[in-house]
Amino acid sequence: MDPISFARGVPAPECIPVEELADCAREVIERDGATVLSYGPAGGYWPLREWIGERHGVDPGRVLVTNGSLQGMVFLADRFAGKRVIVESPTYDRPLKILAGRGVDVTAVAMDDEGLDPDALAHALQSGEKPAFVYTIPTFQNPSGRTLTPDRRRRLVELAHEHDLLVLEDDPYGLVRFEGEPPPTLFELDGGNSVIYSSSFSKTIAPGVRVGYFVLPGPLEQELEALAVSTYITPVLLGQATVFEFLRRGNLEPNLERVRSLLGTRRDAMLEALELELPFARWSHPEGGYFIWLELPAHTDAGALLERAGEAGVTFVKGADFGGASNTARLAFSFVSPDEIREGVRRLAALVAPPVPA
């Protein structure tokens, strides 16, 4: 029996525009080889910084392009080592590990179906050291798939202004929207002084190009760029220039349409399968992204379930790995086919006991 992975939060291979990227890579080397094959600016390939700057309405000097956006998080954590950072709970596990490794005091604030709870955040701000920043993934969150509502977005930005807070808006999934109107980003609501915006081309073009970026206040961009120089001298300009060529050719929107269609079908398959197989559980209903958050009956231990599920040929990540409750699980629908999704949910459901009747 082939194992079915709801654990891998990565795009299905058919999402990646291989042929087009091959041609982009060849062309940028032939056209601009002396630049992209040499040492260059630590902040990234300038034409790409300009493109990103224009998209977000900022000076390109405020854009730091890194070898994947996690690398930017490492620089930020290095910059604020030993300080306090507020995160939403559950949240993406890799930043938690990076922050912990730099002696950061992490305060986790509750979220619900509407995203980070602003009242809980306000409460956390009343006690303890002023945080260096608040880390949030407001759209199609990893791991929960939840999206912060427009009202709460406004409230969060107000809180940032009231408390002179820095907010890090991590938004890798925002453009992978299958339906519905996108809410304004925190960055747009703020005007770009209190909010750092981070994203990447991993979900919109290809993860292997390792091109992530941060839009920062100017002085902070310069501090992080100095850390970049001391880490790798120059990021991989070849990947960045390849991405820029892809964008320059106008390929982003058509590619997004293709990716949205491929992944939307998978999201639909997973929602339908859950409805059919696990009617007594709860789950998030994301309008995009990669993930669904599954809340199993209260007595279910997702860790124990995961062991049995592995034997039954289906895997996921238990919610506890992201700071979630013991009965929760992150299901990624991005990597597997709709048929595999239906079969995987069936295998999973066969292992879950319904709640005890009252």
Minimal distance, residue 280 CB to a copy of itself, in Å: 34
Q: In the numeric block, which tokens belong to residue 242? A: 């390849």
In b/e form, how buried is each residue of 191-224, taking b as 16+ CB within 10 angstroms? ebebbbbbbbbbbbbbbebbbbbbbbbeebbebb
Q: How far is the CB of 200 from a copy of itself (least distance, A)?
A: 11
What does the alpha-carbon distance between residue 237 and residue 200 come to, in Å, rounded to a whole number? 15
Contact residues: a copy of itself, CB under 8 A:
10-11, 13, 16, 18-19, 21-23, 25-27, 29-30, 33-40, 67-68, 70-71, 74, 94, 97-98, 101, 206-210, 230-239, 242
Least separation in angstroms between CB 98 and a copy of itself: 6
Say if residues 322 and 97 touch (Cβ distance below 8 Å).
no
Residue number, 232 or 280, with CB nearest to a copy of itself: 232
320: exposed, middle or buried (C-beta count within 10 Å: 0-12, 13-18, 19+)? middle
CB of 225 to a copy of itself, least distance (A): 15
Query: What is the spatial distance between Cα 271 and Cα 286, in angstroms, rounded to a whole number?
Result: 10
Residue type, 9: G
Shortest distance (Å) from residue 296 CB to a copy of itself:
28
Q: Kindly tell me which of 98 and 110 has the beta carbon lying closer to a copy of itself.
A: 98
Closer to a copy of itself at the Cβ: 40 or 61?
40
Phi/psi zone of residue 21: left (φ > 0), alpha (ψ -120 to 50 degrees), beta?
alpha
- The least distance separating a copy of itself from the CB of residue 308, rounded to whole angstroms, comes to 27
Rounded to whole angstroms, the Cα distance separating 266 from 5 reads 13
Question: Residue length, the chain?
Answer: 358
> Whose Cβ is closer to a copy of itself: residue 31's or residue 55's?
31
Residue (67 or 185) nearer to a copy of itself, CB? 67
- Which residue, 74 or 271, is less far from a copy of itself as judged by CB? 74
